[in-house]
Structure 1
Amino acid sequence: MDSQGIDETDRIILQVLLRDARTPVRSLASQARVSVGTVVNRIRHLEDSGIIKRYTVSVDYEALGYDIVVITTFKIAKGKFPEVANELGKEKNIITIYDVTGEYDAVVISVFPSRSELDAFLKRVQSHSLIEKTHTVLVLKTTKESEITLL
């Protein structure tokens, strides 16, 4: 076991679930070379310890018509990150909001179906009284998007 309290069996289970969270327990057991009961117990432990937070799907936003992906950094008025993050969280196009260190206070990943929707979003956030500065970059191509190699 390592510092996270997981061993090779846990790693195998996590790697398979990261690729496909709907993998049947029997298949997990086969791939980890353990019994079905062991897999059930290991998954329960991983859930209880907070390592597995939820089961979800990976959405292809481009296939849904959201071809524009942007990364926007925000300089926020001192001490106002929680308030701004809460308001930004209501924006339908925002996928992720990070609280970060450095020159900027937040990094936001967003998707848009058109330049006009992106433009409207940027005008909204730039006019917010608690947002002092923004910087937006357009993602041209995603070359890696995976958590699997962490294990």
Structure 2
Amino acid sequence: MTRTSTDHRLDEIDRYILHALMQDARNTTAAAIAESLSVSGATVRNRIQKLEDQGVIREYPTQVDFERAGGKLTNLYRCNVPVPEREALAHKARSIPGVVNVRTLMTGRENLHVLAVGETTAELQRISRTISQLGIEIEDEDLVEDEFFSPYAPFNPDTDREERWPNDFISLTGDADIVELTVQSNAPIVGRSLKDAVQAEILDDDTLVIGIERDDRELTPHGDTVVEADDIVTVLSRASTDADGLDAFRAPAAESTRQ
């Protein structure tokens, strides 16, 4: 799969697709997803291809019960490696026969996890020795009994949209907050310039729009900048940034619940 370093901003269709694939990739088809979204199958396939190209979808792993597949044992080695060497040692560990997964962690002493499969404890001991010979310190190890997966809940299309809004939130010193959110359809500010919104008291003097993203373009807001539905706005506010404080960017309650 091609991977790029470009971040990909997910929309509602992307999140729905990801949730469906995480829930049951084996039995979920593009046609079934398209029917649920009321879009074409080609649209879903194109979205999946884009998510793969952007590296959002990295792989479709086949989960194997190794104990049932010939009575094999699965062992997890929790290791400690120097941070500057972490990536290089992870690739070396992945090349060890029997190793099926390597995971790097950003913090903590056990910052490298190596999952290996062997037919006997002697084979697992051989893998352990090989890991150590690479200069990787094994902190602890355990036989894995079972593993369970769940889709990421915020991508669930059945989750109330109000729970996912705003998109991001940063609290600053001095009682100021930076909030990133998506402007909802029929929000009071839609179709108005920022200057008009202030004059109409839709925006107060303590709320400043400092960034707008629209159709993959970054806009520098000015007084005559008109806000549109689905704009992603970054707001600096010294007022309340709870739900009521952001009403300018959301649809009225009765309409919001229908979106």
Q: Structure 1: where are the runs of 5+ without partners?
A: none
* Residues 120 and 40 of structure 1: CA distance in aligned 2, closer, same or farther (over 3 Å): closer
- Equivalent in the alignment of 1:118: 124
Report SS of the residue matched to 1:120. Answer: helix
How many residue pairs get matched? Answer: 147
For 1:115 and 1:132, the matched residues in 2 are separated by 19
Name 1:138's counterpart in structure 2: 143
TM-score, structure 2 normalization: 0.47
**Which residue, out of 52, 60, 69, partners 2:57?**
52
Q: Does the residue aligned with 1:63 lie in a helix, a strand or coil?
A: coil
Q: Provide the residue aligned with 1:13 in structure 2.
A: 17
**2:66–2:73 contact (8 Å) kept in structure 1:** no
Larger Rg: 2
The AA in structure 2 aligned to 1:14 is L
**More deviation, 27-36/3-12:** 3-12
SS of the residue 2:129 aligns to = helix
Give the secondary structure class of the aligned counterpart of 2:69.
Answer: coil
User: CA 1:93 to 1:145, structure 2 compared with 1: closer, same or farther past 3 Å?
Assistant: farther
Aligned identity (percent) is 26
1:22–1:141 CA distance, 2 compared to 1 (3 A): closer
Query: Moved runs in structure 1, 4+ residues, more than 6 A?
Result: none
CA distance 1:49–1:141, shift in 2 (3 Å): closer
TM-score by length of 1: 0.74
CA–CA distance in 2 between the matches of 1:7 and 1:122? 44
CA shift at 1:52, angstroms?
2.0
Aligned ranges 1:59-70 → 2 under 5 Å: 59-65=64-70, 67-70=72-75
Q: Which has the higher contact order (CA 8 A, sep 6+)?
A: 1
Change (3 A) 1:149 1:58: farther
Aligned equivalents of 2:40, 2:63: Cα separation in 1: 28
Q: Kindly indicate whether residue 98 of structure 2 is the aligned counterpart of residue 93 of structure 1.
A: yes
Note the aligned Cα RMSD (angstroms). 2.9
Task: Note if contact 1:94-1:111 (Cα within 8 Å) is conserved in structure 2.
Answer: yes
Out of 103, 107, 110, the residue aligned to residue 104 of structure 1 is: 110
